Structure 1
Amino acid sequence: TGSHEALELRDGDPKRYNGKGVLKAVKHVNTIIAKRLAGIDVTHQRDIDMTMLMLDGTENQSRLGANAILGVSLACAHAGAKAKQMPLYQYLRWVYDIRSTVYRLPTPTMNILNGGAHAGWILDFQEFMIVPQQKLLRERVRCGAEVFHALGKLLKKKGFSTLKGDEGGYAVPLKSNEEAFKLVMQAIKDAGYKAGKEVMLAMDPAVSELYDAKKKRYTLKVDKKTMTSAQMIAMWEKWLKKYPIISLEDGLAEDDWDNWVVMTKKFGKKVALVGDDFFVTNVARLQKGIDMGAANAILIKVNQIGSLTEAVDAILLAQQNGYKINVSHRSGETEDTTIADLAVAVNAEFIKTGSLSRSERLAKYNRLMEIEEEVR
Structure 2
Amino acid sequence: MKNSKISSVSALEILDSRGNPTIKVYVRLEDGTLGTASVPSGASTGSNEAIELRDGADRYGGKGVLKAVENVNTEIAGALTGKWATDQRVIDDVMIRLDGTENKDRLGANAILGVSMAVARAGANISGLPLYQYLGGAGTPRIPVPCMNILNGGEHADNSVDFQEFMLIPDGAPNFREGLRYVSETFHHLKSILNRKGLATSVGDEGGFAPNCKSNEEAVELITQAIGEAGYEPGKDLSIGIDSAANSFSPNLNNQYDLKWSGKGKALSKDLIDLTGKWLDNYPIILWEDPLSEGDWEGFAQFTKKYGDRIEVVGDDIFVTNTKFISKGIELKTANAALIKLNQIGTVSETIDAVRMCREAGWRYFLSHRSGETEDSFLADFAVAMDGGHLKSGSACRGERLAKYNRLLEIEHELKGHSEYRWS
The bucket for the TM-score relative to the shorter chain is over 0.9
Counterpart residue number, 1:301: 341
- Indicate conservation of the 8 Å contact 2:159/2:211, yes or no: no
Q: Where do 5+ consecutive residues of structure 1 fail to align? A: 95-99
Tell me: CA distance 1:214–1:27, structure 2 relative to 1, closer, same or farther (3 Å).
closer
User: Counterparts in 2 of 1:101-116, with a 5 A limit?
Assistant: 101-116=139-154
Counterpart residue number, 1:315: 355
Letter in structure 1 aligned against 2:169: V
Cα deviation, residue 214, structure 1: 8.0
Q: What CA distance in whole angstroms lies between the structure 2 residues aligned with 1:345 and 1:222? A: 40
- Indicate conservation of the 8 Å contact 1:175/1:222, yes or no: no
- Indicate conservation of the 8 Å contact 1:6/1:304, yes or no: yes
Cα deviation, residue 13, structure 1: 2.3
Residue 3 (structure 1) aligned to one of 43, 47, 68: 47
Q: What CA distance in whole angstroms lies between the structure 2 residues aligned with 1:26 and 1:155? A: 43
Residue 360 (structure 1) aligned to one of 394, 397, 400: 400
User: Counterparts in 2 of 1:40-119, with a 5 A limit?
Assistant: 40-94=83-137, 101-119=139-157
- Indicate conservation of the 8 Å contact 2:301/2:332, yes or no: yes
Residue 315 (structure 2) aligned to one of 263, 275, 280: 275
Counterpart residue number, 1:97: none
CA RMSD between the two structures:
1.1
Say whether residues 1:205 and 2:244 are aligned partners.
yes
**Partner-residue secondary structure (3-state), 2:406:** helix
Q: Where do 5+ consecutive residues of structure 2 fail to align? A: 1-44, 418-424
Letter in structure 2 aligned against 1:116: G
- Indicate conservation of the 8 Å contact 2:71/2:107, yes or no: yes
Instruction: Please give the per-residue CA displacement for 1:227-267, whole angstroms capped at 9, x wherever unaligned.
Output: 11011111111111111100000001111111111111111
Counterpart residue number, 1:120: 158
Cα deviation, residue 130, structure 1: 0.7
Instruction: Please give the per-residue CA displacement for 1:324-375, whole angstroms capped at 9, x wherever unaligned.
Output: 1111000111111111111101111210000000000000000011111122
Q: What CA distance in whole angstroms lies between the structure 1 residues aligned with 2:216 and 2:192? A: 20
- Indicate conservation of the 8 Å contact 2:287/2:313, yes or no: yes
Cα deviation, residue 215, structure 1: 8.3
TM-score w.r.t. structure 2 length? 0.86
Instruction: Please give the per-residue CA displacement for 1:312-331, whole angstroms capped at 9, x wherever unaligned.
Output: 10001001111111110001
Q: What CA distance in whole angstroms lies between the structure 1 residues aligned with 2:140 and 2:133? A: 11
Q: What CA distance in whole angstroms lies between the structure 1 residues aligned with 2:288 and 2:260? A: 20
Tell me: CA distance 1:262–1:214, structure 2 relative to 1, closer, same or farther (3 Å).
closer
Residue 25 (structure 1) aligned to one of 68, 75, 84: 68
Tell me: CA distance 1:283–1:152, structure 2 relative to 1, closer, same or farther (3 Å).
same
Residue 56 (structure 2) aligned to one of 4, 7, 12: 12
**Partner-residue secondary structure (3-state), 1:330:** coil
Cα deviation, residue 161, structure 1: 2.5
Q: What CA distance in whole angstroms lies between the structure 1 residues aligned with 2:260 and 2:251? A: 13
Say whether residues 1:184 and 2:240 are aligned partners.
no
- Indicate conservation of the 8 Å contact 2:253/2:294, yes or no: no
- Indicate conservation of the 8 Å contact 2:156/2:204, yes or no: yes
Count of aligned pairs between the two proteins = 370
User: Counterparts in 2 of 1:153-302, with a 5 A limit?
Assistant: 153-213=192-252, 216-225=255-264, 226-302=266-342
Q: What CA distance in whole angstroms lies between the structure 2 residues aligned with 1:278 and 1:372? A: 33
- Indicate conservation of the 8 Å contact 1:111/1:354, yes or no: yes
- Indicate conservation of the 8 Å contact 1:268/1:295, yes or no: yes
Cα deviation, residue 93, structure 1: 2.0
**Partner-residue secondary structure (3-state), 2:95:** helix
Q: What CA distance in whole angstroms lies between the structure 2 residues aligned with 1:61 and 1:181? A: 39
User: Counterparts in 2 of 1:329-344, with a 5 A limit?
Assistant: 329-344=369-384
TM-score w.r.t. structure 1 length? 0.97
Letter in structure 2 aligned against 1:303: N
- Indicate conservation of the 8 Å contact 1:106/1:347, yes or no: yes
Letter in structure 2 aligned against 1:352: K
Cα deviation, residue 122, structure 1: 2.3
Instruction: Please give the per-residue CA displacement for 1:128-152, whole angstroms capped at 9, x wherever unaligned.
Output: 1110120110001111110000000
Cα deviation, residue 121, structure 1: 4.2
Counterpart residue number, 2:413: 373
Cα deviation, residue 212, structure 1: 2.2
Letter in structure 2 aligned against 1:84: S
Letter in structure 1 aligned against 2:155: A
Q: What CA distance in whole angstroms lies between the structure 2 residues aligned with 1:374 and 1:302? A: 25
Q: What CA distance in whole angstroms lies between the structure 1 residues aligned with 2:140 and 2:331? A: 30
Query: Structure 1 segments of 4 or more deviating over 4 A?
Result: none
